[in-house]
Amino acid sequence: MVWVHTLRALDRPELRSLGRSMWRELARGFPYVEEVAGDAYGIFGMHFETRDFGKFPTGLTPEPQQSAEA
């Protein structure tokens, strides 16, 4: 559902602020991703790809980029 809402927010400018809010909340878990992925491997025996886990989708950074004119 995260990616469905992400795509909607990227497609519809009126939803952009909600997309940023969602990613702001998701970012709270970024510091724990690698630890939990390791724990999940121990439990499920599956490797979870964590490459680039701390990157935000373009246009949905929690703080929008200010234009140079602002």
- Digit-by-digit pLDDT tens for the chain (70 residues) are 999 999 999 999 999 999 999 999 999 999 999 999 999 888 999 888 899 989 999 989 987 665 444 4
Residue 23 belongs to domain spanning: 2-44
Residue 51 forms part of a structural domain = no
Residue 9 forms part of a structural domain = yes
Residue 64 forms part of a structural domain = no
Q: What is the largest CA-CA distance in the chain?
A: 51
Length of the chain: 70
Whether the predicted model's global pTM rises above the 0.85 cut: no
Burial class (CB in 10 A: 0-12, 13-18, 19+), 16: middle
Residue 40 forms part of a structural domain = yes
Residue 55 forms part of a structural domain = no
> Residue 9, Cβ neighbours under 10 Å: how many?
22
Burial class (CB in 10 A: 0-12, 13-18, 19+), 19: buried
Domains of the chain: total:
1
